[in-house]
Structure 1
Amino acid sequence: MATIGREVRPVSYPRGEVRASDFRVVEVDLRPPRPGEVLVRNTWTSVDAALRLRLREEAPPGYFPAFPLEQPMDGIMTVGEVVESHADGFNPGDTVWHASGWRDYALVEAERPALGGVGTLTKLDVRGAPPQAYLGPLGANGLTAYAGLQVAGLREGDVVWVSAAAGAVGSLVVQLAKIGGAQVIGSAGSADKVRHLVADLGVDAAFNYKDGPLPDLLREVAPDGIDVYFDNVGGTHLEVALGALRRAGRVAICGMISEYAAPKPPPGPGNLMLAVTKGLTIRGYRASYHTHLLPEMSRRMGTWLREGRIRHRETVVDGLAQAPAALAALLRGDNTGKTLVRIEDLPHREGVAHRFDQRQS
């Protein structure tokens, strides 16, 4: 008997804000898995700001390709349970991650690389962590944060500024930098997020970038400048960081959310000559460039989670059909921590956002 699944498909590329009308949910008949494939019932799927880059006619050069209209959105991390397996090493009941998200069932080829290797079908150990943690601190977000501080050459005693510090990656970066012996400054877009950064995540100082001129806000908390800037935002934030960096400062560019939905690319920093005069290092990167660090990151992050040294908050939306609304909310800055969609059908709860603080005991 064929399995009937549902998929969220884009029907138009958003102009400005992501809207529900840019997508539709389609029912599809799934064939049985062929040799080397597994059928997975997805339970949690990821919502990431960078998906907006693929909701264009053309994605940025060198990035993952744009999502074709009227097609399933391949390349979104998700976790689920194996229902049927014709692949060695995978059995019904196994919890796995893969990159066929925003659907409730997926046929996955076991050995086919996905998302540069980060999203290749992988069996997960959920004895010490809930499955959805593998979409956050134990997965691609954790790898992005962990690798980024290596890219930045973090040293004990550094003064580090992290933008979008209450987001899925930024919230991990600030805590990893503290573990590494840095003085950490976080910026975010609301008073609640600033309180979360200080009270829950232990940053040394935090500010709401909407509260005044950004150079003044940063100068108040870092009067002597910074050594490292971890960039999730780009635009004005990057320009201000270049001005605040001390000699031989470093920038790790993880993302530029300020540009994702911009109708045209904003101008670059007007003070880039400071990279020459100060001897700065500016390096962009992606998690898929650093898959060799995944086992090390997972082991160390798992330990820190169990010890309570790493905390992570989840913004959870119920219902597969609500994935576009969850993405729109994330891009507006309405989320804190990792945004997730819980896929199981829960009619009485669908569309309701929940927030959870997760600490492994």
Structure 2
Amino acid sequence: MSHTVAEIAAALGLEAVGDTSIVVEGVAEPADCPPDRLAMAMKPEYAEGIAKGSARAAMLWGEADWQALGLEAAILAPRPRYALSALSAMMDPGQGYPAGIHPMSAIDPTAKLGRDVTVGPFSVIGADVIIGDGAVIGPQVHVGWGTRIGDDALLHAGAKIGARCTIGDRFIAHFNAVVGNDGFSFVTPEASGVEKARETLGDQGEAKGQPWARIASLGGVTIGDDVEVGAAAAIDRGTVRDTRIGDGTKIDNQVQVGHNTVVGRHTLLCGQVGIAGSVTIGDFVVLAGQVGVSDNIRIGDNVICGGSTIVLSSIPAGRVMLGYPAMKMDQHLETYKALRRLPRLSREVAELRKAVSKEDPSD
């Protein structure tokens, strides 16, 4: 993984200054950086740590005075964090999955594997599966019957892909991710207390316990190109039609995507987001950590929901939302400020009532 500063800068399309022949073998934080690593000092406050380490070269922001920082070379990036995306890919040594088909894997004779596919030990590839060129299937992975996965996929150890799923190119599934499990769909013989409470907004009438009947998931999951699914995330298959995830969408760890949900292109679903069934989410949406979305809701393009927001009604395109229930962020902050003032206002009202009572002539 050795590269000169000049080679790195050229690969990233950035400016290199100083002794660009310096060779680095990886990256490090400034205060802990040895001489053979590139220090990641992407902000002035990070650069303060350079003096504590032994870095000879660093990636810096565009206007940085690299010589004043005591460096011999630097890569100057107008948007350093964006440059880190390509740099980290360049420096990533990977997971070390051995190439080839491991003899302890089980591949159905009807499965079709493309060129240069890797399959790790104890992985199971089901009947009629199609896997594209260059895919890496780690150990203990399951790919179910009739599923299709595109070129250059990476399924980390323990990932599980159910039957009849269709997945595009460059798909990444992290450890123990699950795609294509059955949806959480159950129904009672008569209207349940939950249904009645929803209609009446709280009154479920005479309580009556009923057994739950399971609704099988007949649909699958369709995923576009360049989608990433985090560790222990789950995407339910559809009840009749497929659950769909658009191109370029990134799903963080421990995210739940319910049955029949449609997620658009280049959307971010951050850690512990929970999306109920039959939700429609647009393109370029960001749902921050622990956002919850109720069923049968539409979220428009370019919506941002802050952390722990609970979405109980549809959101038009472009809104920035926060709170429980979700409201426009500026309104939520105004409401929160007012809420913090309530104890003081309550005391003031009590004092005013006392003053008025003393002035009342009837007393």
Q: Is the structural similarity TM-score above 0.5?
A: no
**TM-score, normalised to structure 2's length?**
0.21
Query: If you compute each CA radius of gyration, which structure gives the higher value, 1 or 2?
Result: 2
From the two aligned structures, give the one with the greater helix fraction.
1
**TM-score, normalised to structure 1's length?**
0.21
Structure of higher RCO (CA pairs closer than 8 Å, 6+ residues apart): 1
